[in-house]
Each structure stands twice: as structure tokens, then as C-alpha cells.
Amino acid sequence: MNTKNKLRVWLIVVLMLFPEIARAITIQEEEELSREFMAAVNEHYEIIHDSIISDYVTQIGNKILAVMPPQPFQYHFHVIKEYTYNAFAGPGGQVFINSGLFEALNSEEEIAGILAHEISHVACRHVSEQIERSKKIGLATLAGVAAGILMGATGSGAAAGATAVGSMAAAQTATLAYSRENETQADQRGLDYLTKAGYSPKGLLAALTIIRSRQWYGKEQIPTYMMTHPALEDRMTFIGSWIEANPSIIRQLPRHSPDPFDWTHARLVAMFGPENDALKIFKTQVVQTPDKALAHYGYGLILTRTGNRSAAMDQFRAALTKRAFDPALLIELGRTYFLDGRYPEALRILQGALDISPDETEGLFYTGRCFIELGKFEEASRFLESLLRDTPDYPDAMFYLGSAYGSLGRTSDACYYLGRNYLIRGEYKNAIVQLEKAMESTADPQKKTEIEILLKDAKKRFTSKIRESETRKR
């Protein structure tokens, strides 16, 4: 089942398990549904938690949000490791783009066009309308759909799952799909937001052209985006006509440097794309363009990923001859030394990078980890604390900060961060154990209140997970 349909199933499950939400959706209720939705996403999909990639997408999204009227939600932007061409918006300002679509795009303007369209769906409350429509089907039907699909997903009850998908789930998908009117409104708003943010609508048109081209590979490879965002041809005609009718607006838009996109795109392909493809791509680039730091950077990343660390170090050093003292390159060289177990050397390189750019998330993270490996837990905690002040939802940093605190005998703090890490990762039983220990070992009333909220959330999700498991067994 593709990503969009899976996420819709989980939206159905949420509505089934939390029937109090299945009525008129207020902003507050949609925010609550958003938290449940993200819990399901984190449990069943791989969100890419690479700070460079996620920060880049968030920066583009925030540029668009900056020109919009005040929004009722705090938007969050995510990249999901899925090779299908898709982008979608969830409840409460959650916006997603699949890594496969990101890899297929060629410029920042194309990403901005996709994000503006999804942001517009949220701003127009189209996602809320989907939720409203879904409640009319009835909880009994929703329960049947969810149970059938979940049984099929686990390998048991496949026939029941197929029947559910074929009969009820198809109708539910149609109910949750955007209407043509939704698409038109999202495009109209999206074009306005795009141009005000300094992006040309030509990027959105180019992105839709790339998505459309995928349909010629065969029915089974038609992008999810085309199934869930109807009237693609009409949309492209509308956007093309808008561009032709507004040449003065297009001429006044600034040009964007290709560097941020090119370097982030190379990182995504090298670290999260198919390994063999990435090796071929960057090896070819190094041969054809040996004078470009970007080629060596991408090749170094995929070599590190595949365990060829010595060769990776050579590639990062080659890149540094083209871009001396580039903190991103220094951090990757330091990270590779760290993964090779050469902690003192890694630490020297990473601290050099942080001297140039003190707030680099990956630099702070691996510096903290170096100090842990060297048994210097106070130093490790300082760097990881600094990272989490600016990037509070970085689960790996929470885990290692918890480990450093544990080694320092700071039991309450250790259990608090370990509990938060497990909660984000959907390991609710472990989260409950750690948070209960944190509650027992702290005397701080404010901290107790915060832990209480997290513990309540973890227990609620753990109970829901048990219900889902029981549903699959029936």
C-alpha cells in the first residue's frame, strides 16, 4: 500500500479510537488529532531526522508562511523516506514530502511550489474538511476498514484485508481525496504565496511536469500525488496561463542561488537514496567533474554510508581543497573519523568546524558523542544541551544526552530525556518506564508537571497500540 493510503488508514484508525474527535473539528481538536497523526507516522514510517535536510525544507516552508496571514497552527515540515512521488498535508499544519519526489526535483523553486500548494490546503482548511467528510461514513464501517487493512498488513487475514480494501476502503479514499475545487483554490492561493515569497510559479509547473512524466512508466508506478491531487492536467494549464498573463511579476522575482538546493539534494541522494544508484551517480560525477567540491562531498557521503571510510575521508579532503574551511565538509570529515573509532582526531576536526560555525547541529551532535566515547560526560552534556535548545525534537540527541546524564548520576534528567526519545520513536512501554523513573527521582514541581503530561501521553498511546493489536487478532 502506498504512503498516502497508509496514512489515510491511520487517520481512520485515529478517528475510530478517538470518537470524540469525530464531530465538528475545531482548531484545538485538529491540533490534538495532529499529535495522534504524528504518533502513527513516527511509529510506521521513517521520517528523515537529518538536520541539514529537514532544516532546508523548513526554511523554504517558513519563507512561504512569512508572507501569509496569521495561521492558527504552528507548521512542521517533514521528509519521509519513501521512493514514491508524493507530498501531502496532515491535520494541524503537518506537511510532508517524500524523499523520492525530492530526489526527482531540480531546484529550490520546484520544492517551494510543492510546499506552497500543500500549505494552501492546510490554510484553506481542506484537511479539516476531509476529516469532517470521513466522520459521516460511520465508526462501524471505519472499524471494518481499519481491521481488514491492519490484518492484511501484518500478513494474517490477507483475504479479509483485500476485501476491506476493495469494498469499503476504496470509498473511504474517494471521500478523503481533494476535490477539483480544493485543488483550484490551493493553486490560486499557492501562486499568490509563492510570488510574494520570491519564488516563480515556473517551479511548481516544472514539478508537476516531473510528476506527470512518471505515469508513462506503467499503471502500478503512477505517482500517489496524481491519485490524490486530481485534475493534474487542468492544474498545469491554469498555472501555465497564469505565468503567461503575469510576465511583469515573473520578471521582478529574484534569482535563487542553486547551491543550497544542490548540496541538500546531494546529501539526500547519498545518505537516503538507493545505495547502488548513489554510488554510481557520485563516482561518475567525481570522474567527470573532479574540480567540483559537490561531487567529492556526495561521493564521500555514500562511501561513509557503505563503510568505506578511508576512501570517504580522501573525498572530503579533496572537497576541502576546493572549499577550504567549509564547516559542512569539516563536520562530515569529523563524523567519518568518529564512525571509524578515531575519537581524538574526530574531536579536533569537529571543534574546528564549530569554531567557524558554532550552531551547526551535526557538529554539536558528533562533538557530544566524541566526548561520551572519551568518557568526558560533562563536556558531552554541554554540547548536546546546546543542540536541543535550538532543535528540541532531535531524538538521537535526547538519547545520548540521557546516556551522558546517566553516567553523571543525574538519574531524573537521564530518564527524562530517554523517555522523550522513546516517546518520539513510538516505543511507548519504554517511554513509560523511563518517565515514571524520572517522576520518582525529581523534586522539582515544574519538572513533575511536565513529566506528568508526557507520561499521560505515553500511556494513552500505549493503550491505543494495544487496542490496535487486539483488533488485528480478531
Condensed to tens digits (0 to 9), the pLDDT of residues 43-82 reads: 778 899 999 999 999 999 999 999 999 988 899 999 999 9
CATH pick for 259-473 out of 2.60.450.10, 3.40.50.800, 1.10.10.10, 1.25.40.10: 1.25.40.10
Name the percent of the chain lying above pLDDT 90.
62
Mean pLDDT, rounded, for 206-232: 72
Asked if residues 208 and 235 have their Cβ atoms less than 8 Å apart, the reply is yes
* pLDDT reading at 174 higher than 80: no
* pLDDT reading at 172 higher than 50: no
Asked if residues 350 and 318 have their Cβ atoms less than 8 Å apart, the reply is no
Strands (E) located in 109-190:
none
Query: 173 to each of 12, 17, 139, 218, 326, how far by Cα in Å?
Result: 10, 19, 15, 21, 48
Asked if residues 42 and 78 have their Cβ atoms less than 8 Å apart, the reply is no
**What pLDDT band is residue 465 in, cutting at 50, 70 and 90?**
confident
Q: What confidence score (pLDDT) does residue 25 get?
A: 62
The model carries a pTM of 0.83
For residue 242, which phi and psi values (nearest 5 degrees)?
A: -60, -45
* pLDDT reading at 297 higher than 90: yes
Q: What confidence score (pLDDT) does residue 2 get?
A: 54
Q: What confidence score (pLDDT) does residue 468 get?
A: 72
Q: If phi over 0 gives left and psi between -120 and 50 gives alpha, with beta otherwise, what is residue 125?
A: left
Task: Provide the residue ranges of all domains of the chain, joining segments of one domain with +.
Answer: 3-252, 259-473
Q: What confidence score (pLDDT) does residue 361 get?
A: 95
pLDDT tens profile 97-147? 999 999 999 999 999 999 999 999 888 876 666 666 555 544 334 333 333
The pLDDT mean for the chain works out to 84
Q: Which residue has the higher pLDDT, 393 or 373?
A: 373
The owner of cell 515573473 is 250
- Identity of residue 208: L
Partnered with residue 76 across adjacent β-strands are 94
The owner of cell 540521557 is 402
Mean pLDDT, rounded, for 438-451: 96
Lowest mean pLDDT among 111-125, 238-252, 258-272, 407-421: 111-125
Nearest to 165 by CA among 156, 177, 153: 153
Mean pLDDT, rounded, for 165-187: 57
Q: What confidence score (pLDDT) does residue 425 get?
A: 87
Q: What confidence score (pLDDT) does residue 35 get?
A: 79
Name the percent of the chain lying above pLDDT 70.
79
Q: What confidence score (pLDDT) does residue 234 get?
A: 87
* pLDDT reading at 267 higher than 80: yes
* pLDDT reading at 284 higher than 90: yes
Lowest mean pLDDT among 199-208, 218-227, 298-307: 218-227
* pLDDT reading at 163 higher than 70: no
Q: What confidence score (pLDDT) does residue 473 get?
A: 67
Q: What confidence score (pLDDT) does residue 11 get?
A: 52
- Of the ranges 38-42, 132-136, 392-396, the best mean pLDDT one: 392-396
Q: What confidence score (pLDDT) does residue 415 get?
A: 98
* pLDDT reading at 162 higher than 50: no
- Characterize 255-287 residue by residue with b for buried, 16 or more Cβ atoms within 10 angstroms of its Cβ, and e for exposed: ebeeeebbbbbbbbbbbbbeeeebbebbeebbe
